[in-house]
Amino acid sequence: MTAEAAYDEAHDATRALPLADGSRPGPHGTRLLAGWFRTGRAADLTDHLDRYGPLPATAPAPLRQAVDEAGLTGRGGAAFPTGRKLSTVAAGRGPAVVVANGMESEPGSLKDQTLLQLAPHLVLDGIALAARAVGANAAHLCVARTRTEQVRALRGALAERVRLRLDPVPVQLHELPHHYVSSEESALVHWLNGGDARPTATPPRPFERGVGKRPTLVDNVETLAQLTLIARYGPAWYREAGAPDAPGTTLVTLSGAVHHPGVYEAPMGARLGQLLDHAGAAAERLSAVLVGGYFGSWLPAEAALSARFTKQDLAQLGAGPGAGVLVALPERACGLAETADVLGFLARNSAQQCGPCRFGLPAVAEDFAALAAGRLDGPSLTRLEQRVGLLAGRGACRHPDGASRLAATALQTFAADVARHVQFGPCGGASTSPVLAVPQGAVPGPQEWR
């Protein structure tokens, strides 16, 4: 089995998680998934047009202004203001390009797959509207090539739209290698330009010189679906949900110590404890919550549950929304063992292009595995802490930064466990079944990036 297939098999195993019953809406109900909750099935083009009608004929400048006034931020991880991004690309020289990122390489996330499965035309409408907003004459939708059923369904959805001539700018569907770093925006651009699906050094950023050296908008598929709703209903309607400083709804993937793991749509600004309660928080006590996914942060349960799900609030705790992933860690589990497994995965799935990924990250992963197993002494722990500090900000891409953040927050959140592991050996939780589904497999070979 190739490294790519092993990664995809482990990632897609989480597809068995049941989709949450979002028919019990929050104070503002569901939006992105409203059509599915009404019918109980994925929306084809007829369903979509019956519910939403044709694309609104908003001109480019008013469309960009509406997105800006709505306060939409990216749902792929960085939470950058989407209106500002649209304006920057639109101001570039020459016709632009739109790239919709549906790769979803974060193993803890199912939100983009769920959205593309249940409401594909919201995303495809968003691509068409984004192309109009930035003056693009080319549009691409990138998904993982190993998700064959998803590819088949999207090809069918695109064919429906072609028959009705809905999209002035045709959307090209691309099947990319499925590796963790292949969803990074510069990796998508590099692949579309004929290279490997690995990140490249920046600058230039894609908005400056991307696909074909043209100004390129790279947006997550959920962001584009949100843009569709803003274009249809306006920024005032959009801001009715969520918080004043974090408007709208968002898709989150909830797992771990909850009774009903899956994908939920929730208002931005909800407290993390409220989100986990919607998934049926288990009776067992929590020690921590992983916020944002494998590039995210471990937070102590008490601090996490009372925090609001906003970029601003989580930043004060050293975390961020990331890909909308929340994993509740029960006290019986060993946070150090869980982190060691993830760091091993991140070390195997780096781009292998620069020193921090080739040498630094494997060294940190090896030390963390020794810590989890109770084989690390005091001086070695000091070395681990130093190595973690050296990872961030030194790579050609952000992969070492994410790994460093995960490791650093684990050492802080599980500090008492660190001391016990060093002094007395591994805890009982290290031998329990892991909470995080961590893909296994070898380092991808050179041919697996194309």
Domain that holds residue 346: 335-434
Q: Is residue 322 part of a domain?
A: no
Asked if residue 167 has pLDDT above 50, the reply is yes
pLDDT at 2: 54
Burial class (CB in 10 A: 0-12, 13-18, 19+), 135: middle
CATH number of domain containing 77: 3.40.50.11540
Task: Please give the mean pLDDT across all residues of the chain.
Answer: 91
Same domain membership, residue 345 and residue 227: no
Q: Which residues of 184-198 are buried (b: 16+ CB within 10 A; e: fewer)?
A: bbbbbbbbbeeebbb
CATH code of the domain containing 383: 1.20.1440.230
230 part of a folded domain: yes
Q: Is 83 exposed, middle or buried (0-12, 13-18, 19+ CB in 10 A)?
A: buried
The strand pair at 325-330 and 297-300 is best described as unpaired
Asked whether residue 64 falls in the same domain as residue 203, the answer is yes
Same domain, 233 and 367: no
Given 242, 270, 303, the domain boundary residue is 242
- Whether the per-residue pLDDT at 27 is higher than 70: the answer is no
DSSP 211: G
- 179 in Cβ contact with 168 (< 8 Å): no
Residues 369-406 pLDDT 10s: 999 999 999 999 999 999 999 998 887 788 999 999 99
**405, two tokens:** 């953040």
Same domain, 340 and 217: no
209-218, 226-235, 345-354: segment of lowest average pLDDT: 345-354
Same domain, 106 and 219: yes
Q: Which residue has the tokens 């407290």?
A: 271
Same domain as 210, residue 77 = yes
Are residues 182 and 33 both part of a single domain?
A: yes
Last residue of a domain, one of 242, 275, 301: 242
Structure tokens at 230: 């803003």
**Tell me: the pLDDT tens digits for 236-268?**
999 999 999 999 999 999 999 999 999 999 999
Residue 291 is assigned to a structural domain of this protein: no
Residue 385: its pLDDT value, please? 97
Do 40 and 169 belong to one domain?
A: yes
d(CA 422, CA 432): 19
Is 285 part of a structural domain of the chain? no
CA distance 333 to 342: 14
Contact 288, 278 (CB under 8 A): no
Least confident of 24-28, 159-163, 238-242, 358-362: 24-28
What backbone torsions phi and psi does residue 344 show, to the nearest 5 degrees?
-60, -40
Residue where a domain stops, chosen among 192, 226, 242: 242
Kindly give the interhelix angle for 120-134 and 45-52, rounded to the nearest 10 degrees.
Answer: 60
The reply to whether 140 falls in a domain is yes
Domain membership flag for residue 122: yes
> Does one domain contain both 224 and 354?
no
Report the C-alpha gap between 158 and 397 in whole angstroms: 33
pLDDT of the residue at 329: 97
Number of CB atoms found within 10 A of residue 316's CB: 10
Q: Report if residue 345 sits inside a domain.
A: yes
Same domain, 222 and 344: no
Clarify whether residues 37 and 176 are in a common domain. yes
Q: Write down the pTM of the prediction.
A: 0.92
Res. 10: pLDDT tops 60? no
The percentage of the chain sitting over the pLDDT mark of 70, rounded to a whole number, equals 94
> What is the domain count for the chain?
2
Residues 339 and 232 in one domain: no
Distance CA(178)–CA(447), nearest Å, equals 13
Q: Please indicate, yes or no, if residue 88 is contained in any of the structural domains.
A: yes
